[in-house]
Structure 1
Amino acid sequence: MGKRKKIIVGIAFNSKKLNHNRKKRFSTRWIKKRMKIFMKYTRRSLQRQTNQDFVALVEYEDRTRKKIKRQLRKYSKLPKNIRFVPKSSYQKSIMKRLKGYRYLYLVRLDSDDLYRRSYIHQLKKHRIRKGTSAIINQHGYMYDSKKRRIAPMYAKSPAFYTLIYKVKDYKKGKRYRLRGGHPAVIRLRHEKLRRRNYVHIIHSGNTTSKFRSKRNKIINKKRTVKNRRKVKKILSAFM
């Protein structure tokens, strides 16, 4: 009998085509800054997952390969289950890891955000209902790294979700169409995890996110934590 779940964390480093950073994301300055954030936050969240039975593929634009490699050399070597891969070979990197598995759990994560350290373990234990296409995390935190404050947040259909495919269907080319981006995930047949499973980080490099409620993000500012010790304690559950 084949293995059941292959969990792959997909992270777009500078491969997403966004109007606000179309050219900036190719620059040495942008890559250097984002790499520092990734290493400080996201890498630590991945390395401190209580269950390490996953692979994280960090996708970068092919033309920036030398710049990416140059920055990576400044940090300690990544563990084997965290890999930077060029956009041109991203799908191939996924495919070669699916042999013998029945399901692909494709976890979405930005290169500057966090999941709870038990998140991979939660996915391993969770038994989905027949026909489920996505697992959604509506509850989390927003962390303002500039002012070092953190507050609970809620999003009906956030950027913190896991898409579920039968491996045989994924290999045949099946992909979920998310018209309009993350808000479309809620329209898939889905299940919700109730824990506060993510931290959305606000930093100087954000251009579309601020520490305030906006459309799909509701911040509970009445419960904002500013005490440094308490903030650190909350973050310790994520990295």
Structure 2
Amino acid sequence: MHMEPDVGIVMPVYRQDSKIFKEAIESILNQTYPYFQLVIVIDGVTPNVDNIASAYASKDTRITVIRREDNKGTDVALNIGFQFLQKNTNIHYLTWVSSDNIYYPEFAGVLKQRLENSPSHVGLAYSGFDVIDDNGKNDKKTDAWNEPLNQPKENLINEYFIGYGFMYKKVFAQKIDGYRYTPIEDYDYFLRLTEHCGITFVPQKLMAFRFSSPYSNSLQLKNSHEKSKRRSYLLRVVMKETRQRREKSLPFKKLYRSETFTENQYTGPTVANNRIIIYIPFNNLNVRDHLPKHLQTEENSHLTEEWIHERMHIFMNFTLKSLMNQSNQNYLAFIVYHDSSRQFIEKELQNYPELPFNIRFVPSSEYEKAVTTALKGYEYFYELHLYSDDAYHQNFIQQLYHYRPAPQTKVLICQNGYIYHSMTGELGEYYNFASSFNCLLYKVTDYLKGVRHNIFTPSATGIWSGAIRLPHEIISDRVYMNHAHKHNVAFSFENEKKQTFRDEKGEPLNLIEKTITDKAEKQSILQAFLGPDYTMNGHGI
């Protein structure tokens, strides 16, 4: 009996190694589930690709080749392929495959069967995968890359975990627009798709992802700062659009809350119910009176136009880089300034590109209102502290979302980090017992009732040293970078080397544990905090 294909597969291709391209096509043709239609979209004709695609199409009627003379990008090619498949009323399941990956024989059949056997609201199935090199050999990344795959769909706004082997129902695809925003077309598409359907994970490895083939997007991103920066920009755009859609969608809000992830009956903060806001004091806190007399500057110097000009330069060229380098952009950052400084702040901001949507300057009198507005719909609130001249590691926001604090904990304290002098290039491993790099934990209901954890206790080791007296937990990883620079009178690399404060038992309260001298190691650490385009130039900030 002849069966019509009910699975539609699109393979976009531009330039590709002939051997790798053939392996990808043959892996689809060798599927144990044979009832599919494969559309190869050649996005800018190259001779070897065209010849190979044509040869396979001439031998197998399940293959259709669509050619475009000009290369317009993966998203455009996908939309062309799926528009063609949408016309076939027999096709009910859709997927797309890369021209450099290998799809195991059970790929199509297992994913289709999982969708068929799942509840009707489930519209996306995805699987585990192997990571391979150009020669098809397994890479050691496989286990690490598969570890975060099995998550609830609410977590998708914080990280892409769908992987590279997936299939979805056409009925849900018809509810949204097509692909866009290469090279994050999958992420954007699945964020929109999952607003209409549930997801299901298949732990079986059904395909092999070729990590660094000659024409892969991953290799291009690795080798091009411009493309990497564009990807980061598009991620922020997608995050902003997603939040705006979901704030307007009451049905999605209800669904979002009702499917909150629980793990071993854990009921605390999760990715789905927690709001992270970074509180960055710019010049609203006058710490002058708490400094030793020989370090005190002119009274109210932090309110002058000159001070604001210098500190804005540091923020834009150091701290902002750290914020924009975060692997998880699902946070808000409020840089809080003294109300009397509004004119100077607004004038300085005109000298720089527009800030990302999730980072903004607010006057001190408006901070509480900005926070409470942002907390609508959330159960928990993390207020993360950061000075306007310091930095956090690129994965710290992501780490916070997955951290599971005890119910009684009120603050997370980061004791271990780095100290960096941007003028001399000195970098050292740093320890601070009562670090100002901390995160206050609130239930939103408590915060809205006026509950505040008062930790402002200026001391020799910082202004928020009161945190250590609250019920707390220690973040042991090196997640912060304390920035010593020519305008930082209260903190210097040289002073920290000379002076170690100790408690009553003689234990150190602050300590440079090791100075890092290897240039490559220093560069690697700095880029993990400040982004791949950050280099030590010897001029400082």
TM-score of Structure 1 vs Structure 2, range by shorter chain: over 0.9
Q: List per-residue Cα deviations over 1:94-132 (Å, max 9, x = no partner).
A: 010001111110000000000000000000111111111
1:12-31 equivalences under 5 Å are 12-19=281-288, 20-21=296-297, 22-31=299-308
1:158-173 equivalences under 5 Å are 158-173=435-450
* Residue of 193, 202, 205 corresponding to 2:484: 202
Partner SS for 2:308: helix
Note closer, same or farther for the CA distance 1:179–1:27 as it changes in structure 2 (3 Å cut): closer
C-alpha distance in 2, partners of 1:109/1:96? 21
C-alpha distance in 1, partners of 2:519/2:389? 20
More strand by share: 1
Task: Indicate conservation of the 8 Å contact 1:143/1:150, yes or no.
Answer: yes
Aligned to 2:529: 238
Task: Indicate conservation of the 8 Å contact 2:286/2:302, yes or no.
Answer: no
Shift of 1:225: 2.2
Note closer, same or farther for the CA distance 1:179–1:39 as it changes in structure 2 (3 Å cut): closer
Say whether 1:218 aligns with 2:511. yes
Aligned to 1:71: 348
* Residue of 172, 183, 191 corresponding to 2:465: 183
Partner SS for 2:516: coil
Say whether 1:8 aligns with 2:304. no
C-alpha distance in 1, partners of 2:284/2:377? 29
Letter in 2 for 1:219: I
Q: List per-residue Cα deviations over 1:131-173 (Å, max 9, x = no partner).
A: 1101111100000111111000111110100000110000011
Task: Indicate conservation of the 8 Å contact 2:434/2:466, yes or no.
Answer: yes
Partner SS for 1:236: helix
1:31-50 equivalences under 5 Å are 31-50=308-327
Task: Indicate conservation of the 8 Å contact 1:103/1:167, yes or no.
Answer: yes
| Number of positions where the alignment pairs a residue of Structure 1 with one of Structure 2 | 237
Q: List per-residue Cα deviations over 1:51-107 (Å, max 9, x = no partner).
A: 000000000111111111111111111000001001110111101000111111000
Shift of 1:228: 4.1
Letter in 1 for 2:274: K
C-alpha distance in 1, partners of 2:500/2:357? 38
Task: Indicate conservation of the 8 Å contact 1:5/1:103, yes or no.
Answer: yes
C-alpha distance in 2, partners of 1:117/1:35? 21
C-alpha distance in 1, partners of 2:352/2:390? 19
- TM normalised by structure 2 equals 0.43
Q: Which has the larger radius of gyration?
A: 2
Say whether 1:56 aligns with 2:349. no
1:85-100 equivalences under 5 Å are 85-100=362-377
Aligned to 2:358: 81
C-alpha distance in 1, partners of 2:416/2:430? 6
Task: Indicate conservation of the 8 Å contact 1:148/1:228, yes or no.
Answer: no
C-alpha distance in 2, partners of 1:180/1:54? 26
Aligned to 2:418: 141
Task: Indicate conservation of the 8 Å contact 1:135/1:161, yes or no.
Answer: yes
C-alpha distance in 2, partners of 1:225/1:36? 26
Task: Indicate conservation of the 8 Å contact 1:140/1:154, yes or no.
Answer: yes
Is the deviation greater in 138-147 or in 228-237? 228-237
Task: Indicate conservation of the 8 Å contact 1:148/1:226, yes or no.
Answer: no
Q: Percent identity of the aligned residues?
A: 36
Query: Please, which runs of 5 or more residues in structure 1 have no aligned partner?
Result: none
C-alpha distance in 2, partners of 1:6/1:152? 30
Aligned to 2:396: 119
C-alpha distance in 1, partners of 2:391/2:334? 15
Task: Indicate conservation of the 8 Å contact 1:143/1:149, yes or no.
Answer: yes
Note closer, same or farther for the CA distance 1:179–1:70 as it changes in structure 2 (3 Å cut): closer
**Which of 1 and 2 has higher RCO (CA within 8 Å, sep 6+)?**
1
Shift of 1:177: 2.1
Partner SS for 1:169: helix
Partner SS for 2:348: helix
Shift of 1:179: 5.6
More helix by share: 2
